[in-house]
Amino acid sequence: MAASQATSAEPRRGLSARIVLGRVFAPVPSEFVLIASTALLLTGFGLTMVLSATTASSMAAGQDPYVALLKQAIFAAIGIPLMFIASRMPVLFWKRIAWPALIFAVLFQLTVFTPLGVSADGNRSWIYIFGLQAQPAEFLKLALAIWMGAVLARKQPLLHKARHAFIPVIPVTLIVVATVMAGKDLGTTMILGLVFTACLFFSGVRLRLFILPVAIGLAGVAFFVFTSPDRMRRITTFAGSDCLAQYYGNCYQTLHGIWGLASGGVFGLGLGNSKQKYDWLPAAANDYIFAIVGEELGLIGCVVALALFTLFAVGAFHVIRKTRDPFVRTVAGGITIWIVGEALINIAVVLKLFPVMGVPLPFMSQGGTSLVAVLVGCGILLSFARSLPARTSAPTGTLAR
């Protein structure tokens, strides 16, 4: 009797093992492949450009020419596994951590006002810990998208009413923004506003209800611009017609960025051959790394970077279009607009289409916190791609009518 029970248990164990392996190695959707591949390619592209843009300044300072690359590679080595770990999490997991994630992100942001905080260019937006510099506000962008998705999805049937659409999302978002603006970081604040607006839009809030949050946002931006001499200087420089007259003043960075792009031509000067990175272009490895891409790799390199961001957006928008879950649609929309919108704003600044804002180029700018946050955001998109409904095909042998 015992022998027969053991014999019957063996097939059951074998069957469950095959089921588990089948789930692990099941084919992934095309959206998963598109998002993951473009994220990895952009990260590799960014590491190459960070190395190229920082070797000259590192050697001039008597440092190892690979020190900046190694720091960025450490964050990439952290972010890429986190991306694939996040991709294995079920949608229910992201719903459950919405509140804890936002609370943690806000508390992490508040560390910039502790002795760990570091100020640069008039902003107090960084912390220095264990020999590395981090920008906590990067995780606020991600946490805000997840939290808004959870709140708006739960209130989905009531979003046609203003009080349900805006409470508690507007008060909580204002608190989040206040923690960033206390450090005078208007660029990150505007990206948070972009995430907020995208989540409202993709959750299905009626367009007429956007008047109030948009008016609050524009009024806030105007107030912070007009009350800051530095921000007013950037706006007047951008609006000014004769930038060459201010070469040694406000237009120095802008002009060198444009000259770097222009000197690259179609094919570029060659990888590593930038002239602007030799202390001519400020923030060459950070906010203006796209200028180095254009100078060294030319128009072709710029088109490749834009094509990768476009493919990333295509994969992400397919997730938004195909999902039936309002939580997935809202969070995916917020993350996609954050990453793609930030990239477009950064490139527009380099092209002098926007005033200088201090916004990084996702995946590519030097900055480990931004890279890790963006890769985790991609992991969430991959998790959502796994949750998409399977395609159904007509049974074999049936005729289309």
φ, ψ of residue 284 in degrees (nearest 5): -65, -35
Q: Which pLDDT band holds residue 389 (cuts at 50, 70, 90)? A: confident
Distance of CA 350 to the CA centre of its chain: 18
DSSP-assigned beta bridge partners for residue 123: 120
Q: Which residues contact 350 (CB under 8 A, 6 or more apart)?
A: 257, 258, 261, 288, 290, 291, 294
Question: Could you tell me what percent of the chain has a pLDDT over 70?
Answer: 89
pLDDT in tens, 339-353: 999 999 999 999 988
Cβ atoms of residues 133 and 126 within 8 Å? yes
Residue 115 scores a pLDDT above 80: yes
Q: Which residues contact 163 (CB under 8 A, 6 or more apart)?
A: none
Instruction: Kindly tell me the burial class for residue 397, based on how many C-beta atoms sit within 10 Å of its own C-beta (0-12, 13-18, 19 or more).
Output: exposed
Q: Which pLDDT band holds residue 395 (cuts at 50, 70, 90)? A: very low
| Distance (Å, whole) CA 7 – CA 131 | 59
- What sign does the dihedral 88-93-94-95 (CA atoms) show? positive
Q: Which pLDDT band holds residue 121 (cuts at 50, 70, 90)? A: confident
| Distance (Å, whole) CA 288 – CA 46 | 12
Q: Which pLDDT band holds residue 12 (cuts at 50, 70, 90)? A: low
Q: According to the model, what pLDDT value does residue 398 have?
A: 41
State pTM to two decimals: 0.88
Q: Which comes out higher in pLDDT, residue 309 or 61?
A: 309
pLDDT in tens, 207-251: 888 888 888 888 888 888 787 777 777 777 776 667 777 777 778
Q: According to the model, what pLDDT value does residue 154 have?
A: 93
Q: According to the model, what pLDDT value does residue 222 have?
A: 83
